[in-house]
Amino acid sequence: MYYRFGKVFYFFSVLVFLIALLYFYAALPEQIGFSLDEQGTVVRDFAKSTFFYALALAFLLLNLVTIYTPKTLETKANRKLHRLFPIGDPYRDYLLTWFYSFGGWVNFSLSLAGLFVHAINNQEFISASAYNLWFFLMPVILFVWMGLLFLLLFKKFKSTQVGIN
């Protein structure tokens, strides 16, 4: 049941990423700076299309890696994983929820990376320092999410040792 909420969150994050990517691509200049010195001048830059394709490729690769495990569990393609998390097991639902929501957080992180590059290149409209909280919060959220995975797996393995299942 919970994994459906995770799926909705994941697909919402895909939509947010695609909208953000297209908006940032349209709003960026032809040469994009991604590193500033102390005076605020651009030190390193690259083409706008390179940014677009690199972010789109990162999105595809990270989503393939993140969603592979829950899809193999749902379709029963991975027999060992299906045997460990059979249908009806509450930990199966938690694991699927974790993977879909983690994919959502990864997508939001990529959107935030696009926002960061957009903020650096449009200093007259938007200040990069205005989003400092989000730039520091997203890695913390991803770290906590990884900790929750280990807690989930620890509880599952403990329940199989005791035979509660």
Does 127 or 11 have the greater pLDDT score? 11
Average pLDDT, the chain: 84
CA separation (Å) from 146 to 32, 99, 122? Answer: 32, 10, 33
pLDDT in tens, 128-144: 667 778 778 888 888 99
- Give the tens place of pLDDT for each residue, 67-107: 998 888 888 888 888 888 888 888 888 888 889 999 999 99
Higher pLDDT, 162 or 5: 5
pLDDT band at 62 (very low <50, low <70, confident <90, very high): very high
Query: What is the separation, in whole angstroms, between the first and last Cα of the chain?
Result: 18
Give the pLDDT mean for 30-36: 73
Torsion sign (Cα): 23, 24, 27, 29:
negative
Segment 17-44 shows an average pLDDT of: 79
Tell me what pLDDT residue 56 has: 93
pTM of the model: 0.81
The DSSP code for 127 is -
Residue 137, token pair as written in the block = 């919060």
Sorted by where each begins, the domain ranges of the chain are 2-162
Residue 9, pLDDT score: 92
pLDDT of 27 reads 82
Q: Is the pLDDT of residue 114 over 70?
A: yes
Stretch 147-160: mean pLDDT, rounded?
Answer: 86
Q: What are phi and psi of 30, to 5 degrees?
A: -65, -40
Q: Which segments of 28-131 does DSSP mark as H helices, in order?
A: 48-74, 79-84, 90-121
What are the C-alpha distances in Å from 46 to residues 35, 71, 94, 117?
Answer: 11, 36, 42, 11
> What's the half-sphere exposure (Cβ side, CA atoms, 13 Å) at 162?
8
**38-55 pLDDT per residue, tens:** 776 666 778 888 888 999
Report d(CA 58, CA 66) in Å as an integer.
12
> Can you read off the two tokens belonging to residue 161?
């040792």
